[in-house]
């Protein structure tokens, strides 16, 4: 327990220091670029912008800090000959890394919550705050539901009013069974009501007036707000709802599958980075090879981020199975890290 606490404290402080330095620098540069827009928006000013923007920056900074932090920690321990003392006392590198597993699990949980829950909601709130427009001027979107495809020319900021709605009803085979055009769709009392609406069924020569009828759809005002906001990140619970048919989306099914799996994969990223940092623990300051292991650790860490991003892009576009896209890089670099650890330990 003493060894685990000591190592965890050293590694955590290095990761925290790197995250604060890189995050602070990135936030400062972002504020220089966005200061004019933020000050014009008002309603909370710079403090509100920092609160909403910081989680988005941390999603980029934390993986990098997870690479550099353990490497700096292991270099520091090696430079003070602490690893030499550990091995002389009979403690193997496997046990040293095993002592860091609880810290890696905690960091993985934090990374999962940040990337899968907090950041997507903060991004949507930030966009809605800085880009609010009146109804009729914003909120257009396309969406796919279990009952068909929807297009709205505009939506209200609250998401309970749609303007110039086109509803393309489809069957299970994906063939259109009817088309409905409505000037307005209004949400009230838990249901959508169509106004100035007509419905055309293939094979019929005339449209039917269905004004005042209830529109059966899983679409909700919260769903409309999400669709009308051009955010890049999708929360894992939203991806689950989309795959289960309880949420309307405007991207492919494989995109949401990859997004869901990558949220789970985030748990293992800190553990992988600690494993890849292991070469930095071998070497002494007086030896000529001191620091070479750290260079390899950093190269492998950034190589993982690059490979993981490439596989995710391939999976989101349907060019790779979602499971392979989400966990492929994790499995590959875990094998590389394990092989390097065994080779160095022997």
In total, the chain counts a number of residues equal to: 346
Whether residue 35 is contained in a domain is answered as yes
Does 21 share its domain with 93?
Answer: yes
Pairing of strands 141-144, 176-188: unpaired
**Distance separating alpha carbons of residues 15 and 172, to the nearest angstrom:** 50
Whether residue 242 is contained in a domain is answered as no
Number of domains into which the chain is organized? 2
Does 76 share its domain with 180?
Answer: no
Of 298, 338, 257, 265, the residue nearest 66 (C-alpha): 298
Residue 127 corresponds to which tokens in the numbers above? 């966009």
Does 41 share its domain with 96?
Answer: yes
Does 118 share its domain with 78?
Answer: yes
- pLDDT recorded at residue 139: 64
User: Of 217, 246, 274, which one is at a domain's C-terminal end?
Assistant: 217
Does 17 share its domain with 98?
Answer: yes
pLDDT, tens digit, for every residue of 203-239? 887 899 999 999 998 888 888 888 877 666 777 887 8
User: Of 217, 238, 273, which one is at a domain's C-terminal end?
Assistant: 217
Whether residue 320 is contained in a domain is answered as yes
- pLDDT recorded at residue 17: 96
Whether residue 228 is contained in a domain is answered as no
How far is residue 238 from each of residues 127, 248, 256, 259, measured CA to CA in Å?
18, 9, 9, 10
- pLDDT recorded at residue 331: 96
Does 123 share its domain with 161?
Answer: no
- pLDDT recorded at residue 268: 93
Whether residue 241 is contained in a domain is answered as no
Whether residue 61 is contained in a domain is answered as yes
- pLDDT recorded at residue 127: 75
Does 210 share its domain with 182?
Answer: yes
Does 126 share its domain with 206?
Answer: no
- pLDDT recorded at residue 248: 83
Does 116 share its domain with 154?
Answer: no
- Contacts of residue 138, defined as CB under 8 A and 6 or more positions apart, other chains included, come to 131, 132, 154, 155, 228
Whether residue 249 is contained in a domain is answered as no
- Residues in the chain predicted with pLDDT less than 50, given as ranges, are 133-137
- pLDDT recorded at residue 9: 93
Residue 72 corresponds to which tokens in the numbers above? 């700096």
Whether residue 118 is contained in a domain is answered as yes
**Domain residues for 177?**
147-217
Residue 301 corresponds to which tokens in the numbers above? 């860490």
- pLDDT recorded at residue 19: 95
Does 103 share its domain with 6?
Answer: yes
Does 16 share its domain with 124?
Answer: yes
Would the pTM count as exceeding 0.85? no
Does 205 share its domain with 284?
Answer: no
């Amino acid at each position: 327990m003493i060894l685990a606490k000591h190592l965890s404290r050293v590694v955590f402080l290095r990761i925290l220091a790197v995250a604060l330095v890189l995050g602070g620098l990135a936030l400062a540069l972002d504020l220089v670029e966005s200061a004019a827009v933020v000050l014009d928006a008002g309603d909370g000013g710079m403090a509100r912008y920092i609160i909403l923007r910081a989680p988005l920056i941390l999603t980029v900074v934390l993986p990098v800090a997870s690479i550099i932090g353990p490497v700096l920690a292991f270099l520091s321990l090696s430079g003070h000959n602490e690893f030499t003392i550990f091995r002389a006392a009979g403690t193997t590198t496997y046990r040293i890394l095993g002592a860091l597993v609880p810290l890696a699990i905690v960091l993985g949980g934090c990374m999962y919550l940040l990337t899968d829950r907090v950041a997507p909601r903060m991004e949507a709130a930030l966009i809605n705050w800085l880009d609010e427009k009146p109804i009729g001027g914003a909120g257009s979107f396309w969406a796919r539901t279990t009952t068909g495809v929807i297009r709205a020319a505009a939506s209200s900021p609250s998401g309970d009013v749609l303007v110039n709605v086109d509803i393309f009803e489809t069957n299970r085979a994906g063939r259109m069974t009817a088309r409905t055009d409505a000037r307005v769709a209004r949400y009230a009392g838990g249901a959508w009501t169509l106004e100035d609406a007509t419905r055309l069924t293939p094979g019929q020569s005339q449209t039917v007036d269905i004004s005042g009828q209830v529109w059966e759809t899983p679409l909700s005002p919260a769903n409309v707000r999400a669709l009308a906001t051009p955010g890049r990140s999708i929360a894992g619970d939203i991806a689950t709802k989309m795959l289960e048919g309880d949420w309307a989306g405007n991207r492919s099914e494989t995109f949401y599958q990859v997004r869901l799996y990558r949220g789970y994969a985030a748990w293992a990223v800190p553990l992988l980075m600690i494993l890849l940092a292991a070469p930095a623990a071998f070497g002494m300051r007086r030896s000529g090879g001191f620091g070479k292991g750290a260079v390899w650790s950093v190269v492998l860490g950034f190589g993982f981020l690059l490979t993981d991003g490439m596989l995710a892009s391939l999976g989101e576009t349907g060019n790779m199975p979602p499971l392979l896209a989400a966990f492929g890089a994790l499995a590959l670099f875990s094998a590389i890290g394990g092989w390097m650890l065994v080779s160095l330990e022997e």
